[in-house]
Structure 1
Amino acid sequence: MLAKIATSGLANLILLAGIPFLLYWGWHRWRHRRALAEVACRAGLRLGAPRYLAYAAVAALFNIAVLLAWSPPISSFTSHDSPQRVFEGLGLSGTSLLMALIYGVVTTGFCEEFLFRGLLAGSLSRRLPAWLANGLQAFLFLLPHLLVLRVRPELWPLLPVVFVAALFLGWLRIRSGSIMGPWLFHAAINVATCLYVALGSSA
Structure 2
Amino acid sequence: MVEFVLFCAPVLLYVLVWSRRKERTFGEALTRVGASRGSASAYGWALLLLPPLLLTSWLSIVLVPAGVLTAPGVSIALITSVGAVVAVVLRAFGEEALFRGLLAGALIRRLGFLWGNLSQSALFLIPHTALLLVDTRLWPVLPVQFAAGWLLGWLRHRTGTFLPGAAVHAVVNVGAGLIAL
Name the TM tier (shorter chain). 0.7 to 0.9
Gaps of 5+ in 1: 1-8, 91-95, 199-203
Match of 2:119 in 1: 136
Gaps of 5+ in 2: none
> Structure 1 residues 25 and 66 mapped into 2: Cα distance closer, same or farther (>3 Å)?
closer
**Whole-angstrom distance in 2 between the partners of 1:131 and 1:68:** 27
1:119 to 84, 99, 102: 102
> Structure 1 residues 129 and 71 mapped into 2: Cα distance closer, same or farther (>3 Å)?
closer
Match of 1:153 in 2: 136
Contact 2:77 2:174 in 1 (8 A): no
- Read off the aligned partner of 2:132 and give its amino acid letter: L
1:179-190 → structure 2 map (5 Å cutoff): 179-190=162-173
- Determine which structure has more spread, i.e. the larger CA radius of gyration: 1
Tell me how far 1:192 sits from its aligned partner. Answer: 1.3
- Read off the aligned partner of 1:29 and give its amino acid letter: S
Tell me how far 1:130 sits from its aligned partner. Answer: 0.9
**Whole-angstrom distance in 2 between the partners of 1:163 and 1:16:** 18
Match of 1:191 in 2: 174
Identity percentage over the alignment?
A: 34
Contact 1:57 1:184 in 2 (8 A): no
**Whole-angstrom distance in 1 between the partners of 2:124 and 2:145:** 9
**Whole-angstrom distance in 2 between the partners of 1:167 and 1:189:** 15
CA RMSD of aligned residues (A): 2.5
**1:20 to 2:4 alignment:** no
Contact 2:60 2:140 in 1 (8 A): no
2:83 to 82, 99, 124: 99
1:177 to 160, 167, 177: 160
- The alignment partner of 1:110 has SS state of helix
Paired residue total? 179
**1:46 to 2:36 alignment:** yes
Tell me how far 1:85 sits from its aligned partner. Answer: 7.2
- Read off the aligned partner of 1:12 and give its amino acid letter: E
Tell me how far 1:165 sits from its aligned partner. Answer: 1.1
